[in-house]
Amino acid sequence: MNFEFSAEQIQLKDIASKFLEKEESVKRARTILEGDDSYDKELWGKIIEMGFTATAIPEEYDGLGLGYLELCVIAEELGRSIAPTPFSSSVYLATEFLLKLGSDDLKQNYLPKLASGDLIGTFAHTETSTSPTEKNITCEVKDGSLSGTKIVVPDGDVANFAIVSAKEGSEIGLFLVDLQSDSVVIKEQKTLDPSRSHASLTFVNTKVHSLGSTNEGWQNLQSVLDRAAVLFAFEQLGGAEASMNMAKEYAMGRFAFGRSIASFQAIKHKLADMFIAVELARSNCYYGAWALSTDAAELPTAAATARVSASKAFHECSKENIQTHGGMGFTWEFDCHLYYKRCRQLAANIGSQSIWKNKLISSLERANKL
């Protein structure tokens, strides 16, 4: 079985890398962090012009009709450049929910606008500081109207619509909500990484469109999260490798006691551990990409494995990058903290490490029973 990307996909990865490097995406992330804007509108416009938002959307909905492998390599480069845009919310989540669960009318109305960037979508799921479960979701839909509050919704203050998890009767369903409605109260929330905005959304009898069957809502939600987890893992992989390379370059150029600190055993061990973490994550991400692109039965296991290993790799590399830089690594002027902040934010976006570890264990247990 060959998990390697094709020559065309590697070429797309190179194009995305050069584009984001030319646009100084890391510098833009700092600008958003230090400013008042929620995201970089200029960079977002250029990403749309490159066609990245339309990558996996079928041609019948004005997309490029490529595939998930192409989206994976783009996600990796966006992670490497810590691009301050709502790409993951709109593409990995909102678009994916519509592709998998939307009616023909919703697909016709929303997917072309998501492909062209005319609309930005997001996913609203969390309500408390604890992990979302079927039992602790209190947002409720009655007679086609939604009431309740979701917190720390990624890009909730810039999105045009949200896919929301809510109770309908005794079941959990998924619903599309227009965030520009007067019945939605949006409040910006501060997080560890202000270069990616978050908000709380309060719904007061807000009209909704149902996605999929309500009695399968929780299963549908988990299925889409598995798909999104692979893409998030590639974004984390890109960030991890960028952090490792930053540490390596600094260590090779920093001299102490007459020689490069990269020659010191303690630094060598740090860099070696970072390299191992990155390569393990890459291997698991490739497995996840294969499972996603083929819609394999192993997707839940592959997604959880990729998510857990990529989260660990990004944390290891972003943390040790700061340590390798020494005292200067903790300063605002260096870019180390930008990657650490993004690492912590991405690790919580679609569920914590413990959630994905438990999902991995559960998927392995199910596989052993077959």
pLDDT tens-digit readout, 16-57:
999 999 999 999 999 999 999 999 999 999 999 999 999 999
Q: What is the mean pLDDT of residues 233-252?
A: 96
Nearest Cα to 114, choosing from 126, 103, 122, 104? 122
Query: What is d(CA 204, CA 189) in angstroms, rounded to the nearest whole number?
Result: 19
- Structural class in CATH, domain 218-369: mainly alpha
Paired residues of 121 in beta bridges: 161
- Provide long-range contacts, Cβ within 8 A and 24+ apart, for 251-257: 251/324
Sign of the Cα torsion 286, 23, 87, 316 reads positive
Taking alpha carbons only, the member of 91, 66, 85 closest to residue 23 is: 85
Task: Determine contact, residues 158/120, Cβ cutoff 8 Å.
Answer: yes
Mean pLDDT of 218-244: 96
**Domain limits of the chain?**
7-116, 121-214, 218-369
> Is 26 strand, coil or helix?
helix
Residue 370 has pLDDT above 70, yes or no: no
H/E element, 217? helix 217-253
Q: What is the pTM of this model?
A: 0.95
- Over residues 72-80, mean pLDDT: 97
Whether residue 3 is predicted with pLDDT greater than 80 in this model: the reply is no
Euclidean distance between the first and the last CA atom of the chain, given in angstroms as a whole number: 22
The predicted pLDDT at position 134 comes to: 75
Q: Which of 120, 122, 31, 36 is nearest to 84 (CA)?
A: 31
For 121-214, the fitting CATH number among 1.10.1420.10, 3.40.47.10, 3.20.190.10, 2.40.110.10 is: 2.40.110.10
CATH superfamily of 7-116: Acyl-CoA dehydrogenase/oxidase, N-terminal domain (1.10.540.10)
